[in-house]
Amino acid sequence: MNYTVITGASSGIGYETALAFAARGKNLIIVARRLEKLEELKSAVLNVNPNLNVVIRTSDLSDTKQAYALYNNLKEYQIETWINNAGLGEASLVADQNLDKVETMLRVNIETLTILSTLYARDYADVEGTQLINVSSALGYAIAVGSVAYSASKYYVSAFTEGLAKELELKGAKLKAKVLAPAITETEFVKKSIGAEDFDYKANMPKYHTAKQMAGFMVELHDSNEVVGIVDQNYDFNLRGQIYPIISEF
């Protein structure tokens, strides 16, 4: 029995991605901090397909020890696709940053993503049909003044994942590594980044995608042979090859 792991599954893109994969008959392992939200998602998934197996795991991925524990706890399962969707944001000028918030963001966006990606690549590099999808951002390919630390963290995600994809290709591995790079998406993410729980997307954003639309893009990327799925400045979704230049040392 194969499973798809989705971190950050309690809301937004992760939540809708779980429903999208459930509609395709995929058994799920859903991960987040909020147990009640995961239980709600499990019920929603089983409404889509009552024959699926849905495994809940609570984990605070700002604690790298919990990231290791999560992975080790899942070794009994055969994991077909691992989606690192969990991420945090920070929207402020560098000099005005809340450094506690930034440190937590860097642990989730960079450290934990690197740990989980590395462990999965070690175990599944030679398993046919496996995929690692890391969620970056359009700001992982362009710097946004006022969100420089966040942009930099997503530059890491993009560069790390594209580099891993090339390493796997050069080794002839069966595992595929891919990057999803959303632009502004209607989720809790922006609200938490700017500290505005009542943020109105329709009133403040000329363009954005819904979480359900982004989950659809995730599925498109999964089904493609491309490495990057990115939302451009016109808010069109594009599948394409690697963006960063590659210098091979092999």
Catalytic residue set: 150, 154
Alpha-carbon span 227 to 179, nearest angstrom: 6
CA angle, corner 235, sides to 230 and 240, nearest 5? Answer: 25
Alpha-carbon span 11 to 24, nearest angstrom: 20
Alpha-carbon span 50 to 105, nearest angstrom: 36
Name the nearest CA neighbour of 142 among 38, 249, 232, 55.
232
Token pair for 79:
């994991």
**Pseudo-torsion of CA 241, 7, 195, 185, nearest 10°?**
40
Alpha-carbon span 183 to 181, nearest angstrom: 7
Question: Are 86 and 7 in contact, with CB atoms under 8 Å apart?
Answer: yes
